[in-house]
Amino acid sequence: MAGHRGTGNAIFEIAMQSTGFLDGSTPVFVLITPLPNWKGSEQSVTEGICIRRLLPGERVAMELSHPLLSYHDVDGSARDGYWICYEFENPYPADNVRYRRRREAAFKLMLHAAYSVQILAPIGGPNLFLLYRRADSGVTLDCTQHRPAFLAPMWGRVCAIPASFQEEIPIVLERVREVFQKPVLRLQIPVWLLEQGLGAPDRHIRILLWATGLDGITRSGGMAAFAERLCQLLGASTAIFPPDATGRRPEYQVIDVAEDLYQLRNEMAHGLPFHEKFRKKRGFLVAAGEPPSEDFASYRYDHVLEECAVFLLCQSLRATFLEGRPRGSAT
């Protein structure tokens, strides 16, 4: 019996040493998700979370997951680009329920960080989360999670990251976490509708989801109230889109599209024929009255409104989270 106990203790000690518990160190993990369309520089998000390029050891470990990355369209340029990275400690043994809870909490925090990034800059992303464990021997994959990819709007792929991003991202993340922890359904639902729209491949489903999210934020009961409250929240003459890296900015203002967006959303929601204006090719135009590229020249008006809908929803969520509640909303 003593021999068996000795063998068991030896195995236990080896296992504990491999997890870092006997030498006094606490296991460190890094949870990462790629941002292929990020046009900014390194950014701090909150304590332990930042947007940066992968470290050499992380890059080597990540390449061992090449089939998984390829399946989710994380190509070479995305791997060399910027990632949301969250470093944290998990001091519990792997078979302990508190270990799993700590890991689940880390994934939830990263999801909320991903929401916050999209609210401030709807640039899309594969929504693939990889958790790695750091040790003296190197970086090894612990587990992965995947949600439907965020399909970036066309302007989201080319626009610059707002200069206010670094100042605003910790506040927006704090508010997103608060909304989901309390919970505050009136604001949870628009965030979910943003997520569902980014994951939907059909243009009209995306418009329907995002416009419904806007309707929830403004709490309006008709087209006139929707347009009025959206203009109160964001400013009637506020530009809907940020500029691109060259300074070109699409010409659309909030007041230009608010009523049309509500009308199109109602026609889709109630199965009504689309008004002919939504089928006309107008192009997606920058301030000079020209499309920024050939890709934008053939846009129908409903396609323009798709781009407007996501940026308006993101601006409205941003304004709500930064200011506490929408101006002009009901108490």
Three-state DSSP class for residue 288: coil
Residues 152-195 have pLDDT tens digits of: 999 999 999 999 999 999 999 999 999 999 999 999 999 999 99
pLDDT at 8: 42
In a 10 Å sphere around its CB, with 0-12 CB exposed, 13-18 middle and 19+ buried, how is residue 316 labelled?
buried
- AA letter at 268: M
Q: What is the rounded distance in angstroms from the CA atom of residue 268 to the CA atom of residue 274? A: 8
Q: Nearest to residue 270, comparing CAs of 219, 204, 210?
A: 204
Q: Where are the alpha helices (DSSP H) in 37-84?
A: 56-63, 66-71, 76-80
The 10 Å CB-count burial string (b at 16+, else e) for 232-258 is ebbeeeebbbbbbeeebbbbbbbbebb
Cα angle vertex 87, ends 81, 92, to 5°?
A: 145
Residue the block writes with tokens 């670094």: 166
Query: Could you give the C-alpha distances from 203 to 196, 200, 307, 309, in angstroms and in order?
Result: 12, 8, 10, 11
- Maximal C-alpha separation, the chain: 86
Q: What is the rounded distance in angstroms from the CA atom of residue 43 to the CA atom of residue 161? A: 11
Q: What's the number of CA atoms in the CB half-sphere (13 Å) around residue 134? A: 17
Q: pLDDT under 70 in the chain at which residues?
A: 1-24, 324-331
pLDDT at 323: 84
Angle of helix 301-323 versus helix 223-234 axis, rounded to 10: 60
pLDDT at 324: 52
Cα angle vertex 134, ends 130, 137, to 5°?
A: 125
Q: Nearest to residue 235, comparing CAs of 136, 105, 110, 327?
A: 327
- pTM, full prediction: 0.88
pLDDT at 136: 83
Residues 113-133 have pLDDT tens digits of: 999 999 999 999 999 999 999
